[in-house]
Amino acid sequence: MSMTDQTIAPSAGGPEEARPIARRTLHDEVVTRIRDMITEGQLAPGSRVHEGQLGAALGISRTPLREALKFLAREGLIELVPSRGAIVRRFSPKDVQDMLTVLATLEAEAGRLACAHASDADIAAVADLHARMMAFYASGNRLEYFKLNQAIHTAIVRLSGNAVLADIHETLQSRLKRIRFLGNQEPTKW
């Protein structure tokens, strides 16, 4: 039987499973990099984003940079101010408290729905994320620990099966990344 005659049957999650290779676009890469820079404080709240300098540092032209900044503005992380350019958004304590209140409510509902819908494999996948996160904790890698912590929240929300809840959660989670990251500065708070 030739390769073209064979049917590739997915295995039960083994390494030989046939699945698409995830490809990230330049846009996704730039958005992720700038979002991480905001989260880590390399781009501080209230600071102006200097397109020429940032584009040079990232090795990209202004066009993909501007598209990424527009995307981050829609997420609420950047403010596009006429005659001033892009500014990293600064949230007031009330803004943060209001968002955390809504986020907690969304995550509680997502958890309830996930318990009703998740399979054993789904639960095992979340447990795997948790184990990987704890390895980053043990090695002191705060950024990767934080990213996996966020991925766990996202996974539970995804398991809720509610696309509207997931969309709103993603927006709030993106806005609060810097605040939540800062909350984990001391290992005792991780």
Alpha helices in 25-162 (DSSP H): 26-40, 51-58, 62-75, 93-117, 120-139, 142-159
Instruction: Provide the 10 A C-beta neighbour count for residue 47.
Output: 14
**Three-class SS state of 81:** strand
- Quote the tokens at residue 185: 């500065």
* pTM flag (> 0.85): no
Please give the Cα distance from 12 to 23 (Å, whole number). 23
Q: Given a cut of 80, is residue 120 above it in pLDDT?
A: yes
Cα–Cα distance list, 169 to 11, 103, 153, 160, 166 (Å):
32, 7, 9, 12, 5
Q: What is the pLDDT of residue 3?
A: 43
**Three-class SS state of 85:** strand
Q: Given a cut of 50, is residue 8 above it in pLDDT?
A: no
**Domains along the chain with CATH numbers:** 26-88 (1.10.10.10), 93-184 (no CATH)
**Three-class SS state of 43:** coil
Model confidence band, residue 15 (pLDDT cutoffs 50, 70, 90): very low
Please give the Cα distance from 115 to 83 (Å, whole number). 50
Q: Over the stretch 59-90, which tens digit does the pLDDT of each residue have?
A: 999 999 999 999 999 888 999 999 889 999 99
- Given a contact cutoff of 8 angstroms between Cβ atoms, the answer to whether 166 and 160 are in contact is yes
Q: Given a cut of 90, is residue 94 above it in pLDDT?
A: yes
Q: Over the stretch 126-173, which tens digit does the pLDDT of each residue have?
A: 999 999 999 999 998 888 888 899 999 999 999 999 999 999 999 898
Q: What is the pLDDT of residue 51?
A: 93
Which amino acid belongs to residue 174?
A: S
Q: What is the pLDDT of residue 190?
A: 62
Distance of CA 17 to the CA centre of its chain: 26
- Higher-pLDDT residue of 72 and 6 is 72
Phi, psi of 11, rounded to the nearest 5 degrees: -85, 180
- Quote the tokens at residue 16: 């030989």
- Quote the tokens at residue 24: 């990230």
Find the largest Cα–Cα distance for the chain: 66
Q: Over the stretch 37-66, which tens digit does the pLDDT of each residue have?
A: 998 889 999 999 999 999 999 999 999 999
